[in-house]
Each structure stands twice: as structure tokens, then as C-alpha cells.
Amino acid sequence: MFVRAFARAATRTATPRPATTNAIRAAALRRAALSTAAPSGGSSKVPIAIALIAASAGAYYYGVQSYPAIKQSAEQAKADKAAAAAEEEAPKEPEPLDYRKVAADIAELLDDVDYDDGSYGPVFVRLAWHASGTYNKADGTGGSNGATMRFGPEAGDGANAGLDVARNRLEPIKAKYPQISYADLWTLAGVVAIKEMGGPSIPWKAGRTDAVSAESCPPQGRLPDASKDRKHVREVFNRMGFDDREIVALMGAHVLGRCHPDRSGYHLPWTYNPTTFTNAYYTLLASEYWKKEKNWDGPMQYSNRKGTGDIMMLPTDMEMLWDRTFKQYVKEFANDEQVWFDAFSSAFKKLIELGVQFPAEAPDIVLE
């Protein structure tokens, strides 16, 4: 009977209840003391009961003590898993664009035996020039920022006829590097073309943005008109902030490319090597015998060999000879190509940066 009572007590103690360690130990000692009065027939069952009590107490104790740690560990694992999942789902910051790689890919687009004189280089330079040459320092409008030639009003300006060829040629670059703005792409293409055709390495920096609508287009008529005189030339360039020496330096870009009757109305190249960047524009301008071209029903232009030659100059080019101040710089650049390279590099960098608010950390990139 005592053993059954003892067993019932053991069963009750096996049910987990909050208790202190000292209370558990005291209860175990009291039950152990009572076992000395057990009948002789129950001696083999008492130690078993005591062992069960001790095991239950130990299991309860260690379970109570370790449960918070187990719970904390499980919660931490769950939190770590959630954090890892959130990190995977979060949008990753795009890697900085390597503009040297962009430049290298642009260079691969230059040569094409089926286009003009075998190179898109000259039309890339013209694109960069015309995209930038609309700037007005008086109100800060125009310039390369915005790439507004993407919109009808500027693309349809007669001065920009044929530049869709250059813009379309560069579309694969934009598709490959969507982070680059059109404004940066077009100006970089001009810098790359000049370098690849033997010209100076013009420092270039990124940070131009693209306009979102045609409302940002500058008014037409801001680009030079080839049929006009020196007064017009100065008005156009002074509006952007260029002096006479810079004007003559930038006119030297006519060493590249040729005129097309279906674009500007004029024809023929300015030099004999229209895909090579040299000071030949100045040497030819200063040394050839230029006359109004004969046997030509287009707008007035000048040709060498007394008007029957195979290269030409536009009326605005001839103003570089006829104006005393302009002429001194023509001679300077004809006599020293490196002097012109330096002057052109400085003026062209200024041109393609007019009106642009670059990020403070934007570095100059010089192509090697």
C-alpha cells in the first residue's frame, strides 16, 4: 500500500510544474528518508521509484534551463534566413559604368568601307559638335546636355541634316550600355573619333542628362550658317563664349569629312585625307589658290586650282583668310600642328561641356 502511494507520488512529480532547484532536491531527500521504513517485501521497488523521481527532476531542471537558449537559437536562425532572402530580393546597385569600355566599343564602329570615305568618324565629330553648338550663355539654354536632337524640332533643323546616320550608328552602344545618357554617348563618340583618326586625346567627363520632351529643344538658327560672313561667325561663337583664337581652332574640325548635296547642299571634302586629323585644313587654306567653283549649280563655294579642283572651302572658311585677326591664327596653326592640337583640345572640351552641371566627383577621362 505504501509503495502504491509512493508510485502515485512519483507520477505526480513527473508532471512539469514550476519549481526551484532547492525545492526539488528537498523533496527527493524526504522521500529517500521515508524509504527506510518500508516493509521488507517492498525493498526492491523503492530504489526504482527513487531513480524515477531523480530522473524526472533532472529532466525537468535541464529542460527548463535550456529551453530559452533553444528558442533563441531557432528564432535567430529564422531571422538570418529572412535577412538572406531580403538581401537576395533587394535591388542591387548597378556597377559603375566603365567608360573606357564604352569608348573601345565606339571605336569598333568607326570603320566601314561602304560609308563615305570608309569611316563614320567625321560624322561622329559633327554630331558631338552640333549637339553642343546650340548653347547660349545669356540664358543657359542649349548645349550638349539634354541630347535634344532626339526630338523633332532639333532633328529637323536643316543644319543637322544627315546626323540621323550618326545617331542610328550609335544605337547598339546605347542598347549595350543603357546607363549612359545619349548626351554623354554623343559627345564621347566625338572625342573617340578624333583620337582614333590621329588627333589629340581630349579630356572627357560623364554626367550629362537627357531631356524628356521637345520642350527643351533650343530654337533653330543657333548653328553656323556656311553661307554667311565673319560677323555671323563671331555672333554664333561669341554667344557661346568663344574668342577669335578659339573660333579658328574649332573651324579646323573641317579637316574631317565632306559635304553632301543632299544634306548641306555643298559638295566635296575640305582636304585630301578627310578621315585623318591633321592641320591640313590650315595649310591648304593658306597655300592653295581658291576661286569660286565653276561648273557647279549648288550654293556658292570655293575650290582650289582656280575653281576647278577636287577640294573646297565654304564661305565661312574663306572668312578665316579674309579677316586679319582670324588669318593670324590660321598661320599659327598651319605652322605648328601641336599648337593647334592643344588649342583645339581645349576649345572642343569647352564646347561639349557648355551648360553642363557635372557631379562634383566626375573625373576627366583621357583616352590612351
Do 124 and 267 lie in a common domain?
yes
Q: What does the pLDDT read at residue 91?
A: 62
Do 122 and 28 lie in a common domain?
no
Do 80 and 107 lie in a common domain?
no
In a domain, 110, yes or no: yes
Q: What H or E segment, with its residue span, contains residue 99?
A: helix 99-108
Mean pLDDT estimate for the chain: 86
Q: Select from 28, 63, 89 the last residue of a domain.
A: 89
Tell me the per-residue pLDDT of 304-354, one tens digit each, with 9 for 90 and over.
988 889 999 999 999 999 999 999 999 999 999 999 999 999 999 999 999
pLDDT, greater one: 61 or 10 = 61
**At a CB cut-off of 8 Å and minimum separation 6, what does 319 contact?**
229, 230, 233, 326
Helix, coil or strand: residue 258: strand
**pTM across the whole model:** 0.76
**At a CB cut-off of 8 Å and minimum separation 6, what does 24 contact?**
57, 60, 61
Do 21 and 118 lie in a common domain?
no
Tell me the per-residue pLDDT of 230-268, one tens digit each, with 9 for 90 and over.
999 999 999 999 999 999 999 999 999 999 999 999 999
CA dist., res. 299 & res. 362, Å (int): 44
In a domain, 112, yes or no: yes
Q: What H or E segment, with its residue span, contains residue 3?
A: helix 2-13
CA dist., res. 52 & res. 279, Å (int): 106
CA dist., res. 130 & res. 220, Å (int): 12
Q: What does the pLDDT read at residue 40?
A: 46
Provide φ and ψ at 179, rounded to 5°: -70, -25
CA dist., res. 321 & res. 333, Å (int): 13
Number of H helices, E strands in the chain: 16, 5
Which CATH number characterizes residue 332's domain?
A: 1.10.420.10
Q: What does the pLDDT read at residue 92?
A: 66
> Which of the four pLDDT bands, split at 50, 70 and 90, describes residue 77?
confident
Do 84 and 106 lie in a common domain?
no
Do 109 and 74 lie in a common domain?
no
Do 304 and 342 lie in a common domain?
yes
Question: What do you get for the CA distance between the two ends of the chain, in Å?
Answer: 104
In a domain, 364, yes or no: no
Radius of gyration of the chain (CA): 43
Do 130 and 276 lie in a common domain?
yes
Provide φ and ψ at 365, rounded to 5°: -110, 125
CA dist., res. 130 & res. 116, Å (int): 19
State how far the alpha carbon of 140 is from the alpha carbons of 153, 211, 338, in Å: 19, 15, 32
In a domain, 368, yes or no: no
Q: Summarize the confidence of residues 77-85 as an average pLDDT.
A: 74
In a domain, 365, yes or no: no
Do 83 and 170 lie in a common domain?
no
Do 17 and 124 lie in a common domain?
no
Indicate the number of domains in the chain.
2
Do 41 and 138 lie in a common domain?
no
CA dist., res. 108 & res. 216, Å (int): 32
In a domain, 176, yes or no: yes
CA dist., res. 114 & res. 108, Å (int): 15
Do 201 and 306 lie in a common domain?
yes
Tell me the per-residue pLDDT of 173-201, one tens digit each, with 9 for 90 and over.
999 999 999 999 999 999 999 999 999 99
Range of the domain at 333: 99-353
* Model confidence at 283: pLDDT above 80: yes
Of residues 292, 311, 290, the one with CA closest to residue 301: 292
Residue numbers annotated as active site: 130, 270
> Which of the four pLDDT bands, split at 50, 70 and 90, describes residue 37?
very low
Let me know: does 226 contact 302? Beta carbons within 8 Å.
Answer: no
**At a CB cut-off of 8 Å and minimum separation 6, what does 147 contact?**
131, 181, 182, 183, 185, 186, 208, 210, 211
Residue 292: beta bridge partners? 302
Q: Select from 35, 62, 89 the last residue of a domain.
A: 89
CA dist., res. 207 & res. 18, Å (int): 69
In a domain, 294, yes or no: yes
* Model confidence at 138: pLDDT above 90: yes
Q: Select from 38, 59, 89 the last residue of a domain.
A: 89
> Which of the four pLDDT bands, split at 50, 70 and 90, describes residue 135?
very high
Residue 302: beta bridge partners? 292, 313
Tell me the per-residue pLDDT of 154-165, one tens digit each, with 9 for 90 and over.
999 999 999 999
Of residues 2, 79, 8, the one with CA closest to residue 42: 2
In a domain, 366, yes or no: no
